[in-house]
Structure 1
Amino acid sequence: MSDSKITELFQQARKQIKERNIAEAVETYQRILSIKPAEKKAHAGIAAAYFQLKQYQDAISHFQDLARLSPADASPYINMGAIYNKMGEYKQALNELRKAVQKDKKSADAFYNMGIAHKGLNQLSMAVTAYKQAIVFDPDMVDAHFNLGNVYLEMKNHTQAHSSFTRSLEISPQFKKALNALKKLDIESTKEKENFNPFGRLVDETSLRKKDTSISTKQLSTEERQKDRVEIHQLCEEIKEVALSMVEDLKKGFTPNLLNLNRCISQGEKHYSELAEANESFLKTVKTLNDMRKLLRHRVLELRAHEELINSIGLD
């Protein structure tokens, strides 16, 4: 048959898809492939049609054919990853999506689908990393922002969840799912604030007396009180400085290094040399954070010890 006949069949298939006659469109695409087995557009079309019919294995089969016909194209692997996600086969989805990233390391769609797969495997931190990487390559990908918000919500990080949902609405103001999620988040945050006691758990002095428990504090002279304030202020300033350094390092050191490490892992064998360097950089960042954590803990213990010393009974 002539090329004009194939063109006619493509037009027929598109019309059938538009009219929601998906099964008929599959038959039309099959006719095209019987004439020209290596026709890429027909493989892509029939795979999409099978997906709509929820015949996922048939869709995957044609995307595999398309991957063989277009070895440099990341799209077939992304689509297979999306289908495996739909089937709940998240590990297989990641396998295909890593192949996609090897073909196109800046594919927002590949990282977005990786986020879904990691979330499905309950690898929440990896899901956050994948969604963030998708947003790096497509800042206006509204679904990536929304899904990232849901992961943060599951991690009980309400501040970041609120930020992600808000960003979704900035991109798409009528996005109902984001509107509902933000309203739900605001209600939960309000309840938490209402239940929060800024003074901690109060002590009932009557019950303490029944337990023969005494409460005492050391009476300080004016000079001692002034010295105590200076020491407490100094310790608090040191704690604040270390804590702020940790936050800054998390933002500018840890998070970028983690994203870079995840990117290198996703790209596979072709980037092993880069992976070793990224891993070394990440480990250095972790060590720095751990050292700061130890220093922060030490300073907090010093503050507690100072409090216990001042409140000790019989201390002149």
Structure 2
Amino acid sequence: LHLIYQQMMVDIFLVDWEKPHPSSEKTKELPVSVWRTYLVANEWNELQTTRKISISLQIFMILIILKICGVENVGTSDPQSSFTLSDGEYHSNFSFVCRFALSVSVYGSVALVQVAFWRGIYTSLIEDKLEQFLDICSLANISVFVMSLKNFGYYIHGKSAHGISDTDMGQMLEHLQRETEDLCGHRGLQTGSDHQTFTMTLPAKLREYYDAVVLPAFSTGSNLLSEIGTSRTSSQKIISGNAATLTKAYDTMNKFLNRFLEHALRDIDYEIRDRIFLEQVIDTEFQDSSTSEKAIFYSGIGFLQSYIFLISAY
């Protein structure tokens, strides 16, 4: 429950790098599709609920070990207990302490086997959920900006190496072919780099701007449910008004983060570093950027071990 609560309190913003396409009319541009953002959001929700351990398989294997294999018969107070019980032999009563210790041992052993299978075989030979999500972000031209705390968060760089992704199947396949033949830029945030995942500490000024732009729009949207009611006409007016507010807030924040990540802001910037050895050991950052004007991005997949994913714990 605590993990689910922490997931609910995380601020997630999907940064769209797609630019409006030119139209035949000189005064108008074609808007970009929002379905790419919906796709990434849906995949993010699925990744949040991914686990290393299958609960159904866990229970099934425990029942087989305890019941069919007879391991539960060891949970007696008799030091000479065995997996099989004969009718003509003496059997001591089951011990609550022994049965509890046996259940914990079997549960932990099965869980460790599942985790070892996930890390050693499943992610390397079958599929890697994280790598798939990074590919989807790059294909959709969407970055994920996560603020798990006020001045701390995680960033997934999904900007397409080709500049556009809202296109047809032929051009998409051409982009993938060029990327396979190394005829285009890299996917990473830095030039010539493939690093797409970062842990970041943010300056207070960036968080204040985010709160000033996004929070009022969300509070307006949350009041929508309480205000909708009696009349269909009034409901339509409320929905259209809140939609305009939410759209404006999203566009404003999207442009701001676009410029921030491209080093185009004068007051707020960031730098990319590698964690020193001691920071990696104790899993913390020694430098506080909340009082400065520069954010610090640490390359790595530390967000996968954070509480924003069930896979970090189970």
Bigger fraction of residues in strand: 2
Please say which structure displays the higher CA radius of gyration. 1
Q: TM-score, normalised by structure 1?
A: 0.22
TM-score, structure 2 normalization: 0.22
Q: Which has the higher helix share?
A: 1
